[in-house]
Structure 1
Amino acid sequence: MAQSIFKTYTINEGEDALHLNLDSLHVWIKKQNQEFWISYLHTDDTYSAPQIDEQTEWERWAPKGDETEVRVRPVFPDLPVVVSSEYPLKLVPEANIHVYCRVSAWMEISLVKSNYVLHEIPVTKLSRTWFGNTMEGELCYWLTSKARRSLEQVEGKPYLINCPIQITNKSHTDLNFERFCFRVERLGIYSVSENFWADETKILYHGEEQHSDVTMTGKLPKSLGKGELISKARNPVSRSLATRTFKMLFDDTLISSR
C-alpha cells in the first residue's frame, strides 16, 4: 500500500534524487555539497511521472551536523478546515450524531538525527477561505470532501486521514448542519489497519450566537482499538475549548490557493 511511503529514508551524498509520489504530488530529495535539496510539484497527469532536469528549482538546507536520514510522515494542515455536510441536515434539540470527514495529509520531511523539519507539503492543493464575518473570524482551508454518516462505501486512499466527529445539539432550536470549522491542527494521527485515523472530536452546540464546546479526546473511538500514534497534534489542547464552530462563511469566497 502507498501508505508505506511514509517512513525513514537514507539520502547519501551524490546519489540520484529520491522520488516520492502521492496522488498529484511529486517530491524529489537529494544530498549535494553536504546540503539537502528538495523540489516538488503538483501535476494532473497521472500517467507519466515528471522528470527533473537542469531547470528544476530546488530549496536547499545546510544541516548543523552530519545527517543522512530523513523521515517522511503525514501531518494535518497548519490551519483549520471548513467541512461541508454530504447533505443538509437538521439536528433537533438534544440530538446526537456521529459523522466522519476525510482530510488530505501534508507530507512532512524532517532530519532524523536533529528532528529538524525541512519542509511540509500539501499532498493535494487546498484553497483558503474566511470563516466568519467582517468583524471576526479566522483563515481556514476549504475542504472539498464531505462529512458523511458512514465511510463504508467510500474508497480508502493512502494520504487521507479519517476523522471521527460526534455532534450534540444542546440548544433549544434546530441546528442546521451544513458546514462547520474543524480545527485539525489540534488532532493527532494514528495508523489503524493500514489506514490513518485522527482522535475523536466531540462538539456541543449551544446556539447560533453562542460558542460551541469542542473537545479533542486524544483517543480513537473504542471500535478502532488503540492504533499506533504516527504524528502528534500541532497545537494540542489538554481538555476542551469554546469557539465558533457552526457559522456562515463571509460571502462564501475562496481567497487563494496555496
Structure 2
Amino acid sequence: MATKDNILRAGESVWWGLLSPPVGLGMCWHLGPLTFVVRRYEQEWQFCHRSSLWPDDTPSSWTLSEEGDNACAEGTIERHVFSHTNEELLIEPLLADRSVVIKSAGPILIPAAEQVSFYVSTPLWVRARLQQRHHTLLDIAATRLSDTWFGPSTMEGELCYATTTSGRLHLDDLPVRVHRAITPVRINNAGEQPLKLEKLSLPVPFLSLFDTGTHGLWTEEITLHHDERKELAQVVVGAQPPPPYHQAQRVSASRKTADKSILNKTFGALFGGLIG
C-alpha cells in the first residue's frame, strides 16, 4: 500500500513536494477549505477539486491520504491526456496570480512620524506541474475570493482579489492556517498628518514564499513609505522575511518580476490613492 511518506517525498511536515504514484492510485489532500485529488492513469493525469466556505480566522490543518470513494464529490474534474505518464508530478504552493486588496476590519490610524508593522495573510494557490517538462497542469486557489477593482478611478487601476484582515500586530496573535501565507507589512508615515489606513493592495504576484516551520509560509517583508507631499508612496520589497525568520527556506519563486520603478508606479499610486 502506498503511504504519504513514499509518495510525497517532502515528508510529513509539509503538504507540497514530488509525487510519483503508481498507475491507478489516487491521492487526496484536505488543505483547509480545499479538497483536491490527483489520479494517475497510464495516459492521463486527472484532478478533482472543490473549495468549501471557511471563516478567515479559523485555524486550519492538512491531511493526505489515498483517495476515498467520495473524496471529491461534486468537485471540478480536469483531465490531461498524454501518450504515457511516467514523469514525476510536483505539487507546490504559490501566491495569487493577481494583487490582493486587503481591507481592514476597521480604520487604522497611524500618527505622523510613526512606523508600524502589521501581519496580514492572503490565500495560497496550489500548482501541479510535470517535473521534467515544467508544464503546469493545475493552478487553483485554496479559498474562493471575490473580484474587485482597485485604483484612483474606473479608468486607472487593476482587477484584483479582495479579502479582509484583522491587521495583527504580534506574532503570537496569528492563527495557524496552512492554506494562507503571511506577509509582514511595515508602514512608515513620513507625512505631517495622521494616516488613516482602510485598505491597500498587496503585490503578491511579485512575492516569493518561505517556509518558516512553526508559523507556516511567509513572504518577504513589504515596506510602504507614505508622504502626502509626494504623489506616490515608495514600495520596498525585502529580500526575505523579517526576524526571526531571516533563515527561512524559499519554497517557491514569485510569479512575476519587476524592478523598483515598476513596483512604485504600479502599487505606490494605488496605496496613495486610497488612504490618507
Normalising by structure 2, what TM-score? 0.79
Matches within 5 A, 1:85-234: 85-132=104-151, 133-194=153-214, 195-207=216-228, 210-234=231-255
Please give the alpha-carbon distance, in whole angstroms, between the structure 2 residues aligned to 1:175 and 1:50: 54
CA pair 183-226 structure 1, distance change in 2 beyond 3 A: same
Identify the structure with the greater helix proportion: 2
How far the C-alpha of 1:34 sits from its partner, in A, is 1.2
Q: Which amino acid aligns with 2:39?
A: K
How far the C-alpha of 1:120 sits from its partner, in A, is 0.9
Deviates more, 1:217-226 or 1:104-113: 217-226
Normalising by structure 1, what TM-score? 0.84
How far the C-alpha of 1:201 sits from its partner, in A, is 0.7
In angstroms, what is the RMSD of aligned CA positions? 2.8
Kindly indicate whether residue 23 of structure 2 is the aligned counterpart of residue 9 of structure 1: no
Identify the structure with the greater strand proportion: 1
- SS of equivalent residue, structure 1 residue 237: coil
Q: Which has the higher contact order (CA 8 A, sep 6+)?
A: 1
Please give the alpha-carbon distance, in whole angstroms, between the structure 1 residues aligned to 2:102 and 2:12: 26
Which of 26, 29, 32 is the matching residue for 1:20?
Answer: 29
Mapped contact 2:168–2:174 kept (Cα < 8 A): no
In structure 2, the residue matched to 1:76 is 95
How far the C-alpha of 1:3 sits from its partner, in A, is 5.7
- SS of equivalent residue, structure 2 residue 258: coil
In structure 2, the residue matched to 1:256 is none
Deviates more, 1:142-151 or 1:186-195: 142-151
- SS of equivalent residue, structure 2 residue 14: helix
Mapped contact 1:12–1:30 kept (Cα < 8 A): no
- Post-superposition Cα deviations, 1:112-169, rounded to whole Å, max 9, x if no partner, equal 1222211111111111111122231111111133322223123212222111111111
Q: State the number of aligned residues.
A: 246
Mapped contact 1:208–1:246 kept (Cα < 8 A): no
CA pair 99-35 structure 1, distance change in 2 beyond 3 A: same
- SS of equivalent residue, structure 1 residue 162: strand
Q: Structure 2: which 5+ residue stretches go unaligned? A: 1-10, 55-59, 61-67
Between the aligned residues of both structures, percent identity stands at: 21
How far the C-alpha of 1:205 sits from its partner, in A, is 1.3
How far the C-alpha of 1:25 sits from its partner, in A, is 1.2
Q: Which amino acid aligns with 2:205?
A: E
Please give the alpha-carbon distance, in whole angstroms, between the structure 1 residues aligned to 2:73 and 2:158: 41
Mapped contact 1:74–1:159 kept (Cα < 8 A): no
